[in-house]
Structure 1
Amino acid sequence: MEYYRYDNHKLRMGGSHPLLGSLELKNQITSPYFMRLPMFDVDHAETDPDSGISMRRLVANDFSSMPECGIPAFMAWVANLSEKHSETAMVRTNDTKQERRMELTLLRVPQKETIMRKNISLNHAKTQTYPIGKADMDKQKNIILSQHGRVGFGHMGNNNVLVIGGIGKSREIIQPNLLQAFGSYVILDRDGEYFNRNASFFRKKYYQVRVLNLSDIEHSNQYNPLHYVRDEEDASLLVQCIFNCASAKRKQTADLFWEKAERAILEALILYVVQCRPKEDQNFATVLKLLNDAKTDEQGLEALDKLFGEAKDAAKEDSFTARYRVFKQESERTALSVLIMAAVRLAVFAREDIQTLTKDDQMEIEMMSVEDTATFLIPSANDDDTMLINMIYTQMMARLYKYAAEINCFPLPRQVRFVMDDFASLGVLPRFQMKLPTMHKYGLSVMLCVNSLAQIKTLYPEDWEIIVGNCMTFAYLGAAETEVHREIVRLISKATIVSRNTTKSIVDEVRPFRLFCDLLQILRNLLNMGKVRRMKPGKVICMITGYQPLYDDCYDISAHPNYPLLGSEKDPAKP
C-alpha cells in the first residue's frame, strides 16, 4: 500500500511511481491531507495514432484499506479532473464479496505548442473543435482559422466567418477550408484559380461539380434565372438584383417615379413569361423581345394590352396583370420611355452568348442541399455580367430557404457554405442582411472576404453593423485601413500589468542611499494600433465570440491530409 499526496498540481508520493510519477494532473485536491490509495497495476495502455491521445487503464484489485473519507475525496478528484484541461478520467468500481476492484482510466491529450500573448491564448481551440477535445483538428466538421485555431460546426451561434486582409486570404483561409470537403460549396472565383485547383479534388471526393463561367461561356454550365421564379416574391427579388447592379445609380427623387414604373413592367413580363409561355421560351431573351417589340410597335402599347388581356381571358393566374395596371397608369408617351429604360437594363441579355447561357438551366440549386456539390462562379471582366452572379447568389439563398420549408427539414440535409472571396465585387445582394441572422437554422453559412471594412460600409451603409455582428468568427490577416486597426485594438481589450518603479535616494554618509520599490497595477491595451499595422505576413488574429482572441501563425496548407489531391494551377479543369 502506498500513500499519495496531491500538491502543486502534481501527484506526489514517498518514492517514484513507475506509472503515475511523471503524469501531470491539472488540478489538486482542496484538502491538504495525505490520502491513502492502493497501488495501481497496468492493465491496458495504448496510444490512438489518429488523435495522439495516450490511454492508460490502471487497476487496483484491493482498495479495502482505503479510509472511508478517502473514497469520496478520490471520486471528487476524478469528477474535477474530468472537467479540467486536457486530461479526463473515468472510474469503475466493483465492491462485492466475490471481487473488490477499481479501474481508473486516464486519457491524456499531448501538449500542443501554446501561443500566448498576455491573455491571448488558444485554449478555446481545443474545446470548440470537432470532436470536442480531440488533438486532431483537421476533421471535416471544423472551420480552419489558423495553425492551431479551429471552430467546430454547430458549436457557435452560427458558422459565418468574416475575413479581412489584403493578401493571403485565398491560400491561408479559403483553400484549407475547401480541403475540408464538408457539405456543399458555392465559391466566388474571380480568376478561375479555385476551379482549376479544386475541381478534380472535389470529383475525387464524389462531389457534383458545376461552374458558371462568364469569362469562358463555352465551358460553363447553363443558368436560367427564370427557372427559379415560382411566385411574385421571386420575380420581385430578381428585378431587385437587376436594379442593384445597374451601372447608373439614380438617387434623385424624380427618378423614383421612373424606377417604380420600370419595376412594375419588368415584374409583369417575367411573371407572364413564366406562367403563360412554353418552357423553352421561359428565359430573359423572351422578356427582352417583348420589351423591344412593344417599344418599336407603331401601335404603341396596344400589343401589350392585347397580350395581357388574352392571358387574363384564358383564366391564367393574373398576378402579373396587377403590375401591368400600375404600369398603365402612365401616359402612353411616358410608358414608352419606361419601356426603353427597362430594355436598357436588360441589354446584357441581348448578347448571343448570354442568351445561350440563360436559355436552359443546369445548376439544380435544390440538389446542393441533399448531395455534395461544388459550384464555382467565375465572373468576367465586364461589369455588366456581375448581374448574373448577383442573381444566382440571391436565388440560391431564397430557393434553399423555401426548399427547407417544402420538405420540412431544418436544417437541410447538407451544409451549404457560401465562400465569397472579394465580397465587394458582388454589389448589393437583396435582403442579404436579413437572411444572415437566420442562415444557421437552414444549415447555410457564409465566409465573407474583404480587403477592408470600408468595402462593406460602402455597399451596406445602414446595415453593415448587422452583417459584421452576425459573423461569430473573425480573422484578420493584415490591412492598411486605420479603422480596422482601431477596431481590432478595441475588440482585443485590455490587460492588467504590474509596473515596478525603483527609487534610489542618498541619505547621509552612514547610510549612503536608500532604495524604494513601488509596484503599481496598470491597465493597458494588449495591442496598440502600431503593432496591428506592423503585423508580419504569415500571422493571423482570430476572434471568436465569447472566447479569448488568438494570435497565431497562418495555417500551413501543405500539412493538410487532402493537400496531395489538389490539382495544378497550370492545368485548367473542364466542367
Structure 2
Amino acid sequence: MARSSKKRFGIGSLIATILGMLAAFYVANRASEHTRTSLAEGARIGDLLETFPGFILGDAWSVSTEQLDLIIGGAAAGLVMLIVLYAYGANRNTRPGEEQGSAAWGSPRDLSRYRDKSPGRELTFTATEALSVDTRKTRRNLNVLCLGASGTGKTRSYVLPNLTKLDASTAVTDPKGEIMRATEAGLRARGNQVRALNLIDLKNSARYNPFWYFNPEEPETSIAQLAECIIANTSGKDSKGDAFWERAERALLTALIAMEWTGAPYDQEEAPHPTLPGVLDIHKGMGGSEENKDQRDSPTDILFAAARDAIELWQEDPTQFRDEDQDRMKVLDYACRQYRLYEQGPVETRLSVVISLGVRLAPLDMHDVRQILSGDDMAIDRLGFEKTTLFVQIPDTHATFRFIAAMFWQSVFEHTVYQADHEEGGQLPIMVHAFLDEFANIGMIPQFERVIATIRSRGISASIIVQSHSQGKAMFRDDWETIEGNCDTILFLGGNELSTKEWMSKQLGNETITMQETSQTYGMNGSWSKNTRTVKRLLMEPDEVGRLDNDYAILMIRGMRPFMSRKTAA
C-alpha cells in the first residue's frame, strides 16, 4: 500500500533534536577547548585528531566555559537545529511515481501468504492465483462476484475447477445440466453425496419440500418469507400495476401457507406433513358468490371458520391443548389473521384476488411438479455436516420454474444459517459454498443483501456469477451495491457490455505515467524543446477492458493490487 513521504514533527522528533543539539554542542565545545589548549602547549595540528579521544575520556563530564569554546559549541548546536528545520520545513507530501495514482498489477508472489498447501482448501480463481478457505488466516470473506459474458468460461474456468477439488459442501445452479454431467462421477468417487433438483427433466428430479426447512423456532417468519419468494418471482418483469393486488395476494398466500403448515384439519392427532400442493388444494377450495356477498360456505371458508373456533378455545384456556400444539395454535392464529385481511374486501375484489393468485400458482398443478414438491429427498440439512453437492438444474429457454429455484436457494441459506447458529462456536463443521451460476436467472432470493452480509462468520459463502454488472443492478437496484460490497473477491472473465467495462475500469484505479512533450519551431530563429511531466491514466481504459484476451482474467481481492492472469484450465 502506498504511503505518504511527509514526516510529522512530533514529541519524539523534538526530543531527538534537543539531544542532537546537546551532543553537537558538547563535541564542538570540547574540540575547541582541546585545539586551543594543545596549540598553546606547542602541539602539532596533525596530532590533534589522534589525541582528541583521550582528551575527552580524561574528563568526560567537563564542559569548557571559555567564551570561544562556548561560541563554537553554540554554533554547532545551532547548525543542527537549522538542518532539522530545513529537513522538516522543506519536506512535502510527495509520493514519487505515484503523484497521480498508485494502481499497478500484482504478481502471484503477493498472494503467496494467503495460499494453502492443500488444493482442496483453496478457492481457485486463475491459473496462478487462489485463496485459502481459512478466513481467519486471510482476513477476507470467500464471497466472489464473477463477471463474464457468454462464452468467457464462467463454468469451465471457475465453477468446474473448484467444484472438482474443493473439500466442502456445495450447492450449484446448473443451467442445462452440463455441470452435473461433467462432475458427478468424480464427485461420487471422492465420497460426495450428489443430489439434483432437476427442473429441466422433471421426471428425473429428486423431491424438494420447502416446508421441511422452516425455522422451527420462528415458523411464522419462514412462512412470510416463502410467500414473499413466490410473489416476487411470479410477478412480471415489468409489472407496474396497482400494488394493492400484489399485497392482497401475498396476504392470502401467507394465510394458506400458514394453514397448511399447521396440518389442517386442526384437530388431527398426527397431521400430514405440509406441502405446496396442499396449499394449492386449499386455494382450490375457495369461492364466492356475487349475488350473495355474505356467503361464506366454500370448503376453505369453512376450514378457517373452524380454525377460528379452535383459536377461541385456545385463547380461553391454553392448558386444554398439548404442549407440542402450542406453537401450532400460534401459527393457526396467524393464518386466521392473514385470512381476515383478505376477507375485508368486497366479494368482487376477493374473487379477483383468488383468480390472480391461482394464475401465479398454476405451475404447481402440473403432475410432475406436484410429485417433486410432495416430499423431500434433497436433504439440504446435510449441507455443512457431510460432503454433499446439490445441483439445481434450470432450463435456459424459459423461466416457468424460476420461483422453485429461488425457493430452493432461500431454503439453503435460511436453513444452513439456522443450523450454524445452533452449533457450538456458531459455525458449520464443514464449509458450505454456493455457486450461484446464472444468478440473474434463478429469481429473487428474498433479503439476499442481508444474507450475503452475514453468512461469513457461519462458515458459509457464495459465488455470484452474472454476465454483466448491469444484470445485478437491474435485479436488486440500490441493494446491488451492498451485495457487491460484501464480495471481497471480484473475478472478471471478459465482456463487452459498456457499463461493466466502465465499472471494471474504475475499480482498477489510476496509475501515474511519465509523458514527454516535444516542441519545435522552424525559421531563422527556430528552437526545439523537450518537457517531461507525470500524468494520470486509468490502469485499463474501458475499451482495453473490452479487449481483454480471452485466455486471461482480471482478479481483484480486497486490499491487494489487481492481477491479470491466465484463466484456469478445466
Same fold (TM over 0.5): yes
Pairing 1:86-485 to 2, within 5 Å after superposition: 118-131=104-117, 139-153=119-133, 154=135, 155-166=138-149, 167-229=152-214, 230=216, 231-248=219-236, 251-252=239-240, 255-277=242-264, 280=272, 282-295=274-287, 300-314=296-310, 315=314, 316-317=329-330, 318-380=333-395, 381-485=397-501
Pairing 1:505-516 to 2, within 5 Å after superposition: none
| AA matched with 2:427 | P
Please give the per-residue CA displacement for 1:213-233, whole angstroms capped at 9, x wherever unaligned: 011122211001222234111
Q: CA deviation at 1:309?
A: 3.0
Aligned mates of 2:109, 2:401 — CA distance in 1: 46
SS in 2 for 1:524: strand
Pairing 1:485-504 to 2, within 5 Å after superposition: 485-500=501-516
Q: CA deviation at 1:252?
A: 4.8
Percentage of identical aligned residues: 27
Of structures 1 and 2, the one with the larger relative CO (CA 8 A, separation 6+) is 2
Aligned mates of 1:410, 1:400 — CA distance in 2: 11
Aligned mates of 2:414, 2:131 — CA distance in 1: 27
Q: CA deviation at 1:479?
A: 0.6
Q: CA deviation at 1:211?
A: 0.3
Aligned mates of 2:522, 2:206 — CA distance in 1: 87
Normalised to the residue count of structure 2, the TM-score between the two structures is: 0.71
Larger radius of gyration: 2
SS in 2 for 1:383: coil
Q: 1:280 to 1:250 in 2, by over 3 A?
A: farther
Partner of 1:564: none
Aligned mates of 2:237, 2:112 — CA distance in 1: 48
SS in 2 for 1:395: helix
Residue 411 of structure 1 contacts residue 440 of structure 1 at CA under 8 Å; is this kept in 2? no
SS in 1 for 2:534: strand
Residue 405 of structure 2 contacts residue 443 of structure 2 at CA under 8 Å; is this kept in 1? no
Q: CA deviation at 1:182?
A: 2.0
SS in 2 for 1:321: helix
Residue 129 of structure 1 contacts residue 142 of structure 1 at CA under 8 Å; is this kept in 2? yes
| AA matched with 1:467 | I
Aligned mates of 1:296, 1:191 — CA distance in 2: 43
Normalised to the residue count of structure 1, the TM-score between the two structures is: 0.70
Aligned mates of 2:239, 2:515 — CA distance in 1: 57
Q: Which stretches in structure 1 are left out of the alignment for 5+ residues?
A: 1-116, 132-137, 558-575
| AA matched with 1:482 | L
Please give the per-residue CA displacement for 1:201-249, whole angstroms capped at 9, x wherever unaligned: 1111111111000111222110012222341111111111111111435
Q: CA deviation at 1:300?
A: 4.5
Q: CA deviation at 1:447?
A: 0.7
| Greater helix share, structure number | 2
Q: 1:175 to 1:156 in 2, by over 3 A?
A: farther
| AA matched with 2:401 | D
Aligned mates of 1:536, 1:164 — CA distance in 2: 15
| Greater strand share, structure number | 1
| AA matched with 1:494 | N
SS in 1 for 2:512: strand
- Name whichever of 456-465 and 379-388 sits farther off: 379-388
| AA matched with 1:267 | T
Q: 1:265 to 1:505 in 2, by over 3 A?
A: closer
Residue 369 of structure 1 contacts residue 416 of structure 1 at CA under 8 Å; is this kept in 2? yes
Aligned mates of 1:514, 1:252 — CA distance in 2: 69
Aligned mates of 2:260, 2:209 — CA distance in 1: 13
Please give the per-residue CA displacement for 1:498-526, whole angstroms capped at 9, x wherever unaligned: 34557789999xxx999866443333222
Q: CA deviation at 1:368?
A: 0.8
CA RMSD for the aligned pairs? 2.6
* Pairs aligned (count): 431
Residue 383 of structure 2 contacts residue 432 of structure 2 at CA under 8 Å; is this kept in 1? yes
Aligned mates of 1:523, 1:252 — CA distance in 2: 45
Aligned mates of 1:221, 1:359 — CA distance in 2: 11
- Name whichever of 370-379 and 325-334 sits farther off: 325-334
Residue 296 of structure 2 contacts residue 302 of structure 2 at CA under 8 Å; is this kept in 1? no
Q: CA deviation at 1:366?
A: 1.7
SS in 2 for 1:140: helix
| AA matched with 1:462 | D
Residue 276 of structure 2 contacts residue 364 of structure 2 at CA under 8 Å; is this kept in 1? yes
Q: Which stretches in structure 2 are left out of the alignment for 5+ residues?
A: 1-102, 265-269, 315-328
SS in 2 for 1:542: strand
Partner of 1:561: none
Q: 1:522 to 1:341 in 2, by over 3 A?
A: closer
Q: CA deviation at 1:377?
A: 0.4
Residue 280 of structure 1 contacts residue 359 of structure 1 at CA under 8 Å; is this kept in 2? no
Residue 300 of structure 1 contacts residue 336 of structure 1 at CA under 8 Å; is this kept in 2? no
Aligned mates of 2:558, 2:104 — CA distance in 1: 18
Q: CA deviation at 1:189?
A: 0.4
Determine if the alignment matches structure 1 residue 554 to structure 2 residue 567.
Answer: yes
Q: CA deviation at 1:481?
A: 1.1
